[in-house]
Amino acid sequence: MFYQVYPRSFADSDGDGVGDLGGIRDKLGYLELLGVDAIWVCPVLRSPMVDGGYDVADPRDIDETFGGLAAMDELIRQAHLRGIRVVMDLVPNHTSDQHPWFTAAMAAAPGGDERARYLFRDGRGPEGAQPPNNWPSIFGGPAWTRVTEPDGTPGQWYLHIFAPEQPDLNWDNPEVAADFERTLRFWLDRGVDGFRLDVAHGMAKPDGLPDMAQVSTTLLVNDDNDPRFNNPRVHEIHRGIRRVLDEYPEAVTIGEVWVDDNVRFGEYVRPDELHMAFNFRLAEAPFAAEPLRAAVENSIAAVTSVGAAPTWTLSNHDIEREVTRYGGGREGLDRARAMILLELALPGAVFLYNGSELGLPNVNDLPEHVLRDPVWERSGHTERGRDGCRVPIPWEGGAPPFGFSPDTEGGGAASWLPIPASWAELTVEAQLEELDSTLSLYRMAIELRGARPEFAGDQIEWYTSPPGALVFGRPGGLVCALNASPEPVALPPGDVLLSSAPRTGALLAPNSAAWVV
Ligand code: NOJ
């Protein structure tokens, strides 16, 4: 059971309105109470924060915003005292444009070693004024930016699949792999328990960087046909990373792998590559029986042939929160609660995004001036981007910032994104002792999942179910039923262990789920 912390938004210990590692440390008791085994901390490395820290200027240092290296050491120490493991986020595909390598590349002439760590190319057309190929950036606009050469003339172009401030590294250059290995060892030797690897399907680019046959104009979309991702050479990179990890047998890697095809997905988690990879099918499925069943079946099928564990996630810092995705309001919340029971009944690793346990919705009406996702600017203000799922966590009290920052008697900085006043009823404080709250449902579900023998076995079996419902079992004896139809359906026979909605006799209400043993 992993808990994903988006550090800017989790808890602020120093009152600057931005969450930090001290904030996570202060909330370890809460995470222990929730019952998680590990935390995945989104990037806290030194960064100018153009993309929330996914633009890394020094992969072997912690940004002062988050408390510096000492705060990381202390977090690891205190988390371990509570039996909670700490997984860091590393970004192998690109660096920040403030990384010393990129600064050196910009200061150097074309053709030298400094530029060979990135993907610099001459432009096309008269005077090289056109980008080297037709690739768009995932964040909008072209994936190439032209530089001014040290002698002041318009010069080469460099590749950035994401923002211009995130130049892509050239993984064909052995120096890049060697430096990444240094980074892995640096953190493993400090006691980190593993890594979430950003864009783990993206580091190997196709030979010759050819034009894309079809250029999509939809932003933030990952597509199996996108030639920039999922190139066979990426597996050599993962084998190299695994050789290092195998020297630290307790450590784990989890790759961000946006690949739909089951066979190609499974290749990433072969025994000599990543330990796990995020499967996003469940997060992409609408709340309906058939698509949910297909998402579960495919996620299991994708890893079974290579003997890896499936992974499950309903949301993260890049995706609209599930309460909103499932329709918002009471209905969206009911469905999200039902999905907790579906997800936690499955074998494998579960990743819970901070705030999901409170049933937080997306905030889709943030004022434009606070938006920070680079997508907002890059899309020419047509796409708001991902800030709506990154609003800080409401901890306690009746008014924003709900204990997110220390109480400085009105003198503190505002939280980096404003928290809606309506979240007063969603705070941790309001939900902790409330038996029917989403937080209590998560706590009970996590506890039962960890303790009860009925959750044994790494397979599931599907049972016949009424139209619009899903019923599956685990070999240990757990039966999970979810009703996505508009009518109540009969509960499977047995004793109800936990239910996401108030019980109505032997019926399972619409938009609810139950565990039966
Ligand atoms: C995936 C991360 O989850 C996302 O937040 C980031 O913007 C991109 N990779 C680029 O690093």
Q: Which amino acids bring their CB within 6 angstroms of ligand 1? A: 51, 54, 91, 162, 198-199, 256, 317-318
Pocket test for ligand 1, best of 169, 198, 278, 387 (most atoms within 8 A of CB): 198
Residue 408 pLDDT greater than 70, yes or no: no
Is residue 222's pLDDT more than 80?
Answer: no
Instruction: Give the separation between CA 68 and CA 245, rounded to whole angstroms.
Output: 25
Average pLDDT over residues 451-479: 96
298: left (phi over 0), alpha (psi -120 to 50) or beta: alpha
Averaged confidence pLDDT in the chain: 96
Given 55, 198, 334, 373, the catalytic residue? 198
pLDDT of 221 higher than 80 = no
* Rounded alpha-carbon distances, angstroms, from residue 369 to 164, 199, 381, 387, 433: 21, 29, 11, 12, 37
Beta-ladder partners of 120: 158
Stretch 13-17: mean pLDDT = 96
pLDDT of 220 > 80? The answer is no
Spell out where 116-261 has E strands: 120-121, 144-148, 154-159, 194-197, 252-255
Q: Which atom of ligand 1 approaches the CA of 93 most closely?
A: 11
Is the predicted pLDDT of residue 446 greater than 90, yes or no? yes
Catalytic position from the list 175, 247, 436, 487: 247
What are 181's two structure tokens? 């290995």
Which pLDDT belongs to residue 478?
98
pLDDT of residue 411: 62
pLDDT at residue 505, as a whole number? 87
Range 474-501 average pLDDT:
97
Domains of the chain: 2-95+174-432 (3.20.20.80), 100-159 (3.90.400.10), 459-516 (2.60.40.1180)
Instruction: Report pLDDT digits (tens) over 223-268.
Output: 888 889 999 999 999 999 999 999 999 999 999 999 999 999 999 9
**pLDDT for 409 beyond 70:** no
Query: Would you state the pLDDT for residue 410?
Result: 61
In terms of DSSP H, where are the helices of 84-161?
Answer: 100-107
What is the percentage of the chain residues whose pLDDT exceeds 90?
95
Distance 219 CA to ligand 1 centre (A): 13
pLDDT surpassing 90 at residue 128: yes
Contact 20, 65 (CB under 8 A): yes
Among 51, 160, 256, name the best residue to mutate to test ligand 1's pocket (greatest count of ligand atoms within 8 A of Cβ): 51
Closest residue (by CA) to atom 10 of ligand 1? 54
Cα-to-centroid distance, 127 and ligand 1 (Å): 34
For residue 203, how far is its CA from the centre of ligand 1 (angstroms)? 13
d(C-alpha 157, C-alpha 131), whole Å: 7
Mean pLDDT, rounded, for 76-94: 98
Dist CA 402 CA 382 (whole Å):
31
- Among 310-319, 398-407, 496-505, the range with the most confident prediction by mean pLDDT is 310-319
- What band does 214 get if pLDDT is binned at 50, 70 and 90? confident
Which residue is closest in CA terms to ligand 1's atom 2? Answer: 198
When mean pLDDT is compared across 65-69, 74-78, 215-219, the lowest value belongs to 215-219
DSSP letter at 475 equals: T
- pLDDT value at 131 more than 90: yes
Concerning whether 250 is annotated as a catalytic residue, the answer is no
Length of the chain equals 517
Q: What share of the chain has pLDDT > 70, as a percent?
A: 99
Residue 133 parent element (H or E): none
396 a catalytic residue? no
Residue 216's pLDDT band (cuts 50, 70, 90)? confident
Q: In Å, what is the CA distance from 174 to each residue of 117, 231, 256, 277?
A: 9, 18, 23, 25
Q: In the prediction, which pLDDT does 504 show?
A: 81
Question: pLDDT tens, 196-211?
Answer: 999 999 999 999 999 9
Q: Do you find a cis peptide bond into 206, omega within 30 degrees of 0? A: no
CA 54–ligand 1 middle distance (angstroms): 6
The tokens of 140 are what?
Answer: 């909008």
Kindly state the average pLDDT of the residues 109-131.
97
Ligand 1: atom nearest CA of 386 is 5
Spacing, Cα 39 to ligand 1 middle (Å): 18
Give the Å distance between the CA of 221 and the centre of ligand 1. 12
pTM over 0.75: yes
pLDDT at 223 (0 to 100): 82
